[in-house]
Structures are given as C-alpha cells and as structure tokens.
Structure 1
Amino acid sequence: MLDANLKAQLKSYLERITRPIEIVASLDDGAKSQEMLALLNDIVSSSDKITLDTNGSDARTPSFALNSPGQDIKLRFAGLPMGHEFTSLVLALLQVGGYPSKATEDTIEQARSLTGEFKFETYFSLTCQNCPDVVQALNLLAVLNPNVQHVAIEGSLFQQEVTDRQIMSVPSIYLNGELFGQGRMNLEEILAKIDTSAGDRQAEKLNAKEAFEVLVVGGGPAGSAAAIYAARKGIRTAVAAERFGGQVLDTMAIENFISVQHTEGPKLAVALEEHVKEYEVDIINLQRGEQLIPGQNGEPHQVKFASGGVLKGKTVILATGARWREMNVPGEQQYRNKGVAYCPHCDGPLFKGKRVAVIGGGNSGVEAAIDLAGIVSHVTLLEFDANLRADAVLQRKLHSLPNVTVLTSALTSEVTGDGQKVNGLRYKNRLTGEEITVELEGIFVQIGLLPNTEWLKGTIELSPRGEIIIDQRGETSIPGIFAAGDVTTVPFKQIVIAVGEGAKASLSAFDHLIRSSAPA
C-alpha cells in the first residue's frame, strides 16, 4: 500500500511511541477493505508496539479503531485516511501511542476537564485541505478525554450516509447526531464552542493585559510578517487573530511564493505561525475585531473583540485580510453548504458524477472548472464580462475539456433548489436580455475577495470598495494605526506582497514609536 519512502518515514515517526497500540479493523471482501488491510499491515510492520485485530464488527466497513491497553480511547477511521488525511493518521498513531501533543498546556487542561458525552463524526474528502485540522483536533480530544469519541468518515466511501444527511460540504461535523459545524475548525475553536464559559475566561485574560507597543490584528501573511519584524526590534508585540493563517488556509496550491517552488496553504500557515513563535510574541487566537477605539491625548489605541475582551496598543497594525466574495443573489444563503460552495478542492469530490457550475472567469474560477471537470459529469462556467480574465494558458486548457461549457456575458440572478438542496441556477444573458435556467446540483463561487473591514466603518478612512486607505508607509488616516495586506488599497492581492507590506507597516510602526516617544 505504502511505497518504500513512505514506509521509512512512518517507521521513523513510530519510533517515538511509548506505549502499545491496538488496531481493531472491521473489514469485508470488498476492494477498499483489501486496501485498508494492506495499509494496516504496513503500519504494523513499522513498529513492534502495534498489533492488528481484523475481527472487528463495526457497522461502518471498512473502518478501524485505535486504542492502547489500559486507556479509554474511542477513535476510529471509516475509510482510507490517505491524501491530506495521512498526516492525521500518523498523528493519531503517535498520540494514541503516548507521544505528547504540541497543544498548549491550557488547551490540554481544558480538553481534559470536559464533562458530559461527546460523540463526534466528521465527514471528510481526501482532497480537502481544511479537513485535517478538524480530524486532528477531534482525534486529539478523543485521546485526551474518555468522554469524547470521534469517527472520521471518508464521504466518498459512505455515499449513502452523505446522501441521507444531505452533506454537500466538507468537513461536516456532527455531535451526538446533530450538525455541529462545517468548515475548518481547530481544537481551540471546538473547545470554545462546547465549553460555554471559555469565552468569558478568555475575555478576562485579554482585559488584564498591559498595552502592547505593537498590536497586530490578523494572523495571515501580512500579520505574521508584521509581528516578526516588530518582535525583532525587541518591543512588546501581540497578534490577535480569528484564525492564524487567514485566507491562506483556504488556498490549495501556492506556486508563486518566491524561493518556495510549491506548497499548500495549510502548510504555509503552519510555517508562518511556527516562525512567529520563534520570537516573544503573544499569540491570541479566536479573536474577531468588533470595534477600533483610537487613543486620545497620548493614550493607547484599543481594539474590542467579539469575545468581549479588549486589547490595547501604542500602535496598531490592521491585517484582517479578505474573504470570498458572495454573489448576493436569492437562494445563495439558503443553499450555502447545500450545493453552494466556495472551495472546489474541499467539496468537489462530493459532486462526483453530477452537474455543477463555476461562477467567475478569473484564474481562480478557471482553475476550479479545470479541476472539477475531472470529477463531475459536466461543468458550466459563467463569467459576467464578455471575455474570461484568466491567464491564456488556463483558458486553453479549459477550452480543451469536452465536459465544460463556457458562458460569457452571463449575470447569475438566482440559485434555485427544492428546499433541501440546489437544483439549478438562473442567469441573464447580458447581450440579449434572455433569462435562462441551468439544471445542476452544485455551484462553486469564485468571484474574488471582500475586505474584512465592516467593523472599521466610521473609524478610519476606507475606499469605495471597503479597503483601508494607506499611504506609502502603510499608515492609515489615524496616526499610529497602520494596515497591511489584502485588507488595504495596495493593488495585486498576493501572498508575497502581503508579507512585504506587513514588514513595511511594522517598521513604520516602530519608527512612529521612536518619534512619538522622543523628547521635544
């Protein structure tokens, strides 16, 4: 099942386990069960601390559970955890085998203190870059707390469950049989959702902190660079982020970050956070900005967060990034995650053999259509303008595909459905005025980004598009408040540009601190 190189890596990792692991597999005569058996045999051959029992009787077949003698761990994989989920399998083996997690002590203690019964089920796809965070977080929770059990389910292998539960987006997480959440979530976010007093405790911690010299709001490439450059100056720095990595977490392939020939968004996000952690930076996650209160008469600026907490900064760098732009047509919100999706890599496999549309003719839209064409039965790409805006090489590839229809001058006007899921869309031909209906099962929206600045309106100067207006130094309309990255008016929203802008804003903030503290 595993090639020689992967076996060698696995063997090296499994040398770290300190207690025995029992694998109990539930198999049948099918091809997938044979693949799973081959995988499990490879795992067993990689460590003398691992045993395999093939007499399991779980209702989901093929599947396997991981446990350790003397422990009460309820952790199961239903399906083959390969692709992006192979890392989740390796981590699960290490943690079940006693290897400590990298989670903070506070997070581990919070996980162990949970009371009640928590039966989690996560549906994933092998091409989903968002799913491993959820699977790994819930696996760790099951290792840490015997009140928690988790089953990670490969959606394409258990299609009947996916159909019965009308799952059209991954990761989809169920808790005690009810939908708990959809999309990327880390362990801290999951704990915050099930531990209702966690938010109040976090707000108290934030309010007790002294003013930082540089307070960065946002943990994407721009925010990470800003934090590193500030910390290198030896000044007190903090990063408050809703999710570290930002929009990068939702990016599949990254091939234009200079000196890195190829990587994936989640890997880059981890690397960014690890780099920031090399310095004395206070990283505060799960914080969404709600109000900016500029300081008066030399007082520090304040940022109020949705958690109720407030942080203070002598200077502030706003790097809150952007999010996927929505169509804002009837039916879009009603059928969000019920056929309307924004991540083709994550959710594409759920539409295998079905008809889908891609909205948007830029690079993102055309790349999505190309990828989906290899999975679904037919792709209809709709572009508002008269011509596609994607690179020529992508357009040539798109037009070479037999199961793709390209519609230009097409204004999407409505998402239609049967009350439970999408069954089509309506668009207007902008040349003829004709209203046309397309029958399909999925719609992938790829029409650009929207800056995360709603909470800043009325406080600092914004462009008509909602971007923060900055000068050549990255300073906003308020002295001592800077901004960087996709949230600003800087053209060309690219990771490499955001990193540079973050560094520039940080150096400008340091210069401001020096000048404002110098004696007259």
Structure 2
Amino acid sequence: MLDASLKEQLQAYLQRVVTPIELVASLDDSPTSGEMKELLHDIAALSDKITVVEKRDDDERKPSFAINRVGSDVGVRFAGLPMGHEFTSLVLALLQVGGHPIKLDEAVIEQIRNLDGDFEFEVFISLSCHNCPEVVQSLNSMSIINPRIKVTSIDGGVFKDEAEARQIMAVPMMFLNGEYFGQGRTSVEEILAKLDTAGGARKAAELSRQKPFDVLIVGGGPAGAAAAIYAARKGIRTGVLADRFGGQVLDTLAIENFVSMKETDGPRFAIALEEHVKHYEVEIMNTQRASKLVPGKMIEVQTESGAVLSAKSVILATGARWREINVPGEKEYRNHGVAYCPHCDGPLFKGKRVAVIGGGNSGVEAAIDLAGIVAHVTLVEFGGELRADAVLQKKLRSLQNVDIITSGQTTEIHGDGKKVNALTYTDRSTGQSHKLELEGVFVQIGLVPNTEWLKGTLDLSRHGEIEVNARGETSVPGVFAAGDVTTVPFKQIVIAVGEGAKAALSAFDYLVRSSVDETAEKAAA
C-alpha cells in the first residue's frame, strides 16, 4: 500500500509516538477493506507502539478504522481510506493520539477541554478536496483534547449510498449528533465559536479591552498579511482583524503565477502568510468579522461579536467572495447540486451530467477538471465568446464530453425539492429558452467585494469596490484599502500583496505627518 520512500518518511514521524495506540479496523470482503488492512499493517510495522485489531462482526461502517489510545477514551475514526489530501490528516491523528503535543494556543485548548456536553461529529469528505483536511484535523484535535467529542471522517466516494441518502453534494460537510452543523473550510476557532457561544462573548470583551492600535488591518488575505508585515517592520502597534486568516486563498487549489515560486497551493500559501506575519509583533484576532467602521480622530471598528477596537489608522483588506448568479433555485439548492468549488465537490458528481456557468479562466478550468470525472459537462457563457486564455480554450474544445454554449443567460436552476435536476437558459441571440437535464451546476462567474458593511461610510464604486487613489487612500482620512476589495484592476495574489505593502507604507506616512501636525498645533496653542 505504501511505497518504500513513504514508509521511510512515515517511520521517522512515528518515532514521535510516545503512548501505545491501536488501529481497530472494521472490515468486510470488499477490495477497499483489503487495501485498508494492508495500509494499517504497513503502519503498524513501522512502530513498536502501534498494533492492529481486526473486527468483522461489529456495527461500525465497513470499511473503517479507529485510532485509539490504549487504556483511554481518546480516539478518532476514518471511514474509508485517508489517502490523497487526507494522508496528512492520518499522520497527524497517529501522532496526536500517540501523545504528540497538539499545536493550539493554550487558551483554545482549555476552552475545548471545558466544553460541557457530548458531541458526535460526522464529516463527509472527498480525497481530492483541499478544504477538507483542515476540518478533519480541527475536529480530530478537539476529540483528542476532549474525549466527549467523537469524530468520524467519511469518504463520500466510498460510502456513496449514505452520501446520497443524506444528500451530500458538497464537502466538507459536518453533522453534529445527527443534525447538519456546517459546510466548507472551518477552523478550530470557528467550530468552537458555534459550540461555545458564551466563549464568543468573553472573546469580544477581551478584544474590547485592547489598547488602541497605530494601524488596524481588517482582513487576513494576501493584502492584509503584506500590510501587517510592512507595518510591523516600522515598529508601530499593529493588529489584524480577520474572519479567517488566508482569505480566499484558502479556497484556491493551484498557484502557479506567484513570482519566486513555480507552484504551490492555496492552503500552503496561507500557512506561509500567517507564519510570516507571526514572525513580527502583530496582534492577530481571528474568526472576527467587522460589522461597522466609525471614522474619527480615533477610528473605531466594531465586530459582529460585539467587540469595539480603535486605531489611529485602518487598512481595509476584506477581499472578495464567489459571485452568485442570483436566479431562482440557486440559494435553494446550494450544496444540493449548486456548487462553487469543482476541486472539492467534483468527485461527488462522478458519472453525472453537470453545467459550469462562466467562460472565463476559472469557468473553463473548472469544465476541464470536471470533464475527467463526470459523464458530461455543458459550459454556459453569457457573452458571445469565451473569455479564457487561448491555451485553456484549446484544451476545452478537445474534450469529447464537453458542450459549449455562448450567448446563454442562465434563468433558473430546477430541482425536485431535494437536489438539482435541471437548468434553464435563454439563447440571447434568438430569445429561445432551453432546458438542460442535469444533476449539478458549478458557478464560476467571478468575485463580489466584501463591502456591504461599509456602505454609507466611504466611497464605493458602482460594483461595490472601495475607491482608492494611487496611495491606497480612501475617501475617509486615515482609512486605506488594498487587494481585491478595491477598484485596483486585475484581481491577482501578487497584485494584492503589493497593494497591501503600499497601503501600510501610506498609513505609516499618514501617522508621521499626523503626529507632526499635532505637535505644531500644540506649539501654536
């Protein structure tokens, strides 16, 4: 199951296991059970602290296995083979159940330990999903810290009948005690905030006691991270308020155009951003969403949790999110056939017919990727021709199971009350309406800026972007902006990083000039 090179690497990691663990397998006669048995015995052969127990007459999902700490209630379960993106989750689970320290802030660990109640989580995943590992690893860590939290990670590709019965058409998807809990990339802090509402109030009170910042950056994506680094290097008090550190980069699979690195992926790039920021004295306030900006000599930023922060200057870098097509059926069938991440959710549509809405680079790339998984792809582009790069269009047109529709306006997504079963579009050149029978719709039509909370406070473009000048200044003195949330053209990571650095330098210049003016005013008085 594991090649020699991987075994050698894994053996080195398993030297960190300090407490005996058992791999308790629930098996049947399926080929996947055979692969699981081989994998578990390969792992056990690499450490004298790991043993395998095989069962066939228990009530657990088959094939599945638990990683249990001998003599305790600590353990996690995988239903399916945790390979692909989930192999890292498997290795971390082995180490952490085996006593290796969990890398979380002590305050977070204590909050998890003090959760009162019994929590049984099930998280449905796919092995090609780059967002799933964070959810799996977050829940596993919480389970190891607090044994009253039980976690089973379920590969929807292996347990297809269960996934269909529970209408799993987007991953990662979490259930708590049998009820829907949440979907999408989710951190430990975000899960905790939903489980421990009193903890959220305590956190808001703590944030409100923060001393005023010289510069407060709202947003933790590439622009916000760059701004934080440049501001901190100036020696001024710097804070970052972020809904989730990394921003939309966390949902990006391949990054191949960031100067100085040939290729990486979004989650890895986001981790590097956060590590770089933490190298400096920056106060990072994660899982906090800004709700109001109050201009003044000391600028206030209020959060949805009730916290109030103040700063001499503010940099807005709240980024953007996937744009919706806003037609009947889109919201009703979101995660039930309507999806936005082909890499995450594509495997759930294996052998089915799907549509991709959008003919730009993201739409054409999605259609190409999906064509290798699903039975048929129909790409629907509103304009008269595709807008993607020529090389992508050439690849798309070479695929036998892809149809391309241009001048097509999507008007409705249909379903049977449970999941998508059709899409209606209008041919803009003839005015005729057409209906496509299908099981999935992937929306890839660009981004919308996260500025709803700023309306009426500063100048926004007709597209909702923050209007900035060449220095990153907004219409409000002391407030700057950078990245995809602004009117700066070309929404690219490398541009966002540059704009974030520029905004920080402009904010520092503003602080210097403001202090000089204040000194002059006092002298004149």
- Output the TM-score relative to the length of structure 2: 0.97
Q: Specify the alignment match of 2:275 in structure 1.
A: 274
Q: Which secondary structure state, in structure 1, belongs to the residue aligned with residue 313 of structure 2?
A: strand
Q: Specify the alignment match of 1:301 in structure 2.
A: 299
Question: What runs of 5+ residues in structure 1 fail to find an aligned partner?
Answer: none
Q: Distance in 2 between matches of 1:273 and 1:203?
A: 22
1:495 aligns with 2:493: yes
1:76 aligns with 2:71: no
Query: 2:324 aligned to 319, 326, 329, which one?
Result: 326
Deviates more, 1:228-237 or 1:149-158: 228-237
- The answer on whether the counterparts of 1:74 and 1:148 sit within 8 Å (CA) in structure 2 is no
Q: Specify the alignment match of 1:486 in structure 2.
A: 484
Q: Specify the alignment match of 1:109 in structure 2.
A: 110
Q: Distance in 1 between matches of 2:504 and 2:7?
A: 44
Q: Specify the alignment match of 1:16 in structure 2.
A: 16
Q: Distance in 1 between matches of 2:489 and 2:35?
A: 49
Q: Specify the alignment match of 2:60 in structure 1.
A: 59
Residue 58 of structure 1 and its aligned partner are, at CA, apart by 4.1
Q: Specify the alignment match of 1:147 in structure 2.
A: 148
Residue 199 of structure 1 and its aligned partner are, at CA, apart by 1.5
Q: Which secondary structure state, in structure 2, belongs to the residue aligned with residue 304 of structure 1?
A: strand
Residue 174 of structure 1 and its aligned partner are, at CA, apart by 0.5
Q: Specify the alignment match of 2:369 in structure 1.
A: 371
Alignment of 1:336-347 (within 5 A): 336-347=334-345
Q: Specify the alignment match of 1:119 in structure 2.
A: 120
Q: Which secondary structure state, in structure 2, belongs to the residue aligned with residue 401 of structure 1?
A: coil
- Give the root-mean-square deviation of aligned CA atoms: 0.9
Q: Distance in 2 between matches of 1:177 and 1:224?
A: 38
Q: Specify the alignment match of 2:246 in structure 1.
A: 245
1:253-292 Cα offsets, whole Å, 9 max, x none, are: 1101111111111111111111111111111011111100
Residue 3 of structure 1 and its aligned partner are, at CA, apart by 2.0
Q: Distance in 1 between matches of 2:133 and 2:394?
A: 33
Q: Distance in 1 between matches of 2:502 and 2:42?
A: 50
Residue 474 of structure 1 and its aligned partner are, at CA, apart by 0.7
Q: Distance in 1 between matches of 2:395 and 2:84?
A: 25
1:117-153 Cα offsets, whole Å, 9 max, x none, are: 1000000000111111110011111101111100000
Alignment of 1:23-422 (within 5 A): 23-55=23-55, 57-295=58-296, 299-422=297-420
Q: How many residues align?
A: 517
**AA partner of residue 112 (structure 1):** R
Q: Which secondary structure state, in structure 1, belongs to the residue aligned with residue 393 of structure 2?
A: helix
Deviates more, 1:13-22 or 1:444-453: 13-22
Q: Distance in 2 between matches of 1:204 and 1:161?
A: 43
1:277-322 Cα offsets, whole Å, 9 max, x none, are: 1111111011111100001xxx310111111111111110000000
Query: 2:509 aligned to 499, 508, 511, which one?
Result: 511
Residue 59 of structure 1 and its aligned partner are, at CA, apart by 2.6
Residue 71 of structure 1 and its aligned partner are, at CA, apart by 2.1
Q: Specify the alignment match of 2:421 in structure 1.
A: 423
- The answer on whether the counterparts of 1:118 and 1:147 sit within 8 Å (CA) in structure 2 is yes
Q: Specify the alignment match of 1:2 in structure 2.
A: 2
Deviates more, 1:37-46 or 1:144-153: 37-46
Q: Specify the alignment match of 1:443 in structure 2.
A: 441
Residue 4 of structure 1 and its aligned partner are, at CA, apart by 2.2
Q: Distance in 2 between matches of 1:91 and 1:496?
A: 32
Residue 8 of structure 1 and its aligned partner are, at CA, apart by 1.8
Q: Which secondary structure state, in structure 1, belongs to the residue aligned with residue 197 of structure 2?
A: coil
Deviates more, 1:393-402 or 1:8-17: 8-17
- Output the TM-score relative to the length of structure 1: 0.98
Q: Distance in 2 between matches of 1:302 and 1:7?
A: 54
Q: Which secondary structure state, in structure 2, belongs to the residue aligned with residue 365 of structure 1?
A: helix
Query: 1:476 aligned to 474, 477, 494, which one?
Result: 474
1:64-91 Cα offsets, whole Å, 9 max, x none, are: 1011123212410000101111111111
**AA partner of residue 285 (structure 1):** N
**AA partner of residue 310 (structure 2):** K
Q: Which secondary structure state, in structure 2, belongs to the residue aligned with residue 23 of structure 1?
A: strand
Q: Distance in 1 between matches of 2:5 and 2:277?
A: 31
- The answer on whether the counterparts of 2:353 and 2:375 sit within 8 Å (CA) in structure 1 is yes
- The answer on whether the counterparts of 1:226 and 1:503 sit within 8 Å (CA) in structure 2 is yes
Residue 110 of structure 1 and its aligned partner are, at CA, apart by 0.5
Q: Distance in 1 between matches of 2:467 and 2:273?
A: 26
Query: Which runs of structure 1 show a deviation greater than 3 angstroms over 4 or more consecutive aligned residues?
Result: none
1:367-402 Cα offsets, whole Å, 9 max, x none, are: 000000011000000000010000111101100111
Q: Distance in 1 between matches of 2:283 and 2:21?
A: 37
Q: Which secondary structure state, in structure 2, belongs to the residue aligned with residue 367 of structure 1?
A: helix
Q: Which secondary structure state, in structure 2, belongs to the residue aligned with residue 54 of structure 1?
A: strand
Q: Which secondary structure state, in structure 2, belongs to the residue aligned with residue 334 of structure 1?
A: coil
1:469-489 Cα offsets, whole Å, 9 max, x none, are: 111111111111100000001
Q: Distance in 2 between matches of 1:3 and 1:278?
A: 37
- The answer on whether the counterparts of 2:75 and 2:97 sit within 8 Å (CA) in structure 1 is no
- The answer on whether the counterparts of 2:69 and 2:75 sit within 8 Å (CA) in structure 1 is no
1:224-276 Cα offsets, whole Å, 9 max, x none, are: 01011111111111101000100001101110111111111111111111111
Deviates more, 1:21-30 or 1:343-352: 21-30
Residue 466 of structure 1 and its aligned partner are, at CA, apart by 0.6
1:98-119 Cα offsets, whole Å, 9 max, x none, are: 1111111111000000111100
1:129-182 Cα offsets, whole Å, 9 max, x none, are: 111111001111110111110000000100111111011110110100111111
Q: Distance in 1 between matches of 2:219 and 2:106?
A: 23
**AA partner of residue 508 (structure 2):** F
Q: Distance in 1 between matches of 2:360 and 2:5?
A: 38
**AA partner of residue 33 (structure 1):** S
1:406-427 Cα offsets, whole Å, 9 max, x none, are: 0000000001111111011100
Q: Distance in 2 between matches of 1:240 and 1:362?
A: 32
- The answer on whether the counterparts of 1:67 and 1:96 sit within 8 Å (CA) in structure 2 is yes
- The answer on whether the counterparts of 2:244 and 2:286 sit within 8 Å (CA) in structure 1 is yes
Q: Which secondary structure state, in structure 2, belongs to the residue aligned with residue 467 of structure 1?
A: coil
**AA partner of residue 85 (structure 2):** H
Deviates more, 1:36-45 or 1:445-454: 36-45
